[in-house]
Amino acid sequence: MTLGQRRPVLQAPAVQALFVLCAAWVLALLAGQAVESWFGVVISPIPFAFLHGALAAGLACLRRMASWWAPILFFFPPAAVLVNSFHLPPVLFLAVFLFLLLLFWSTFRSQVPFYPSGQATWDAVAGLLPADQPLRVIDIGSGLGGAVLYLSRLRPDSRFVGIELAPLPWLVSQVRALLGRSRGAFVRGDYTRLDFSDYDVIFAYLSPAAMTALWQKARVEMRPGTLLLSYEFIIEDMQPDVVVHPKENGPALYGWRM
């Protein structure tokens, strides 16, 4: 994928998982009909759901999807049958769907889910910021805004910005900044459309799937002397210049100097 080019929707992992579920359902249906025809046994909903899930997990492995998709696809059909047995009102499902949509938004395409970090990580980031100059720092995928709000209080000499694509976390960030009269700013948008040359430090807590494209963009756009930070997720084949563990035996904060 070239820099700045978006992955086609049909190639998004979540959409591929939906196709796998549909294909597995057809296979499970054919298997159920064969069992009924040959042995006169009708497969009840729960065993059928586990058969559906097992076939979906098998197809995910055959397609070499990410390892976490196999258990997700295996348990999804039985979970759906179980939830349906509670006879919950349809409006509840709609409300949950809308909430998750506003929270995760384009996760199905970007493969960057909602990952909160925490104060220990923010302190580690603060410790890596040059202290002898005002800085422009951006948190890409800023979530609920905790890092930007906290660092803005620690470093009033610098400018901290968070960018978040999902509407609900972005709105929460805006409200928190307003109520706390923070100097931190929040933008709703896609960080891949930013010009990284505008910033001295870029902090990311994304996902393994996003790291290669992040590095390609940073290498092209970031100025010499600037700093790229990533919590927990490493850039493959790129040795970090800095490794800090905010919590003992916890994930590391990695840094690359441009």
pLDDT at 1 (0 to 100): 37
Beta strand 242-244 with 185-188 is unpaired
Instruction: Name every residue whose Cβ is closer than 8 Å to that of residue 64 and which is 6 or more positions away in sequence.
Output: none
Phi/psi for 162 (5° steps) reads -120, 140
The residue count of the chain comes to 258
pLDDT at 3 (0 to 100): 38
In the chain, what are the helix, strand and coil shares in percent, each to the nearest 5?
Answer: 55, 10, 35
CB 49 within 8 A of CB 81: yes
Split at pLDDT 50, 70, 90, the class of 67 is confident
Render pLDDT for 138-193 as a digit per residue (tens, 0 to 9): 999 898 999 999 999 999 999 999 998 888 889 999 999 999 999 999 999 889 99
Contacts for 63-67 with beta carbons within 8 Å, 24 or more apart? 63/16, 63/20, 65/13, 65/16, 65/17, 65/20, 66/13, 66/209
Q: Which CATH class is domain 119-257?
A: alpha beta
Q: What mean pLDDT is reported for the chain?
A: 87
Identity at 90, one-letter amino acid code: P
Beta strand 185-188 with 227-231 is unpaired
pTM for the whole structure: 0.67
Domain ranges across the chain: 9-87, 119-257
pLDDT at 101 (0 to 100): 57
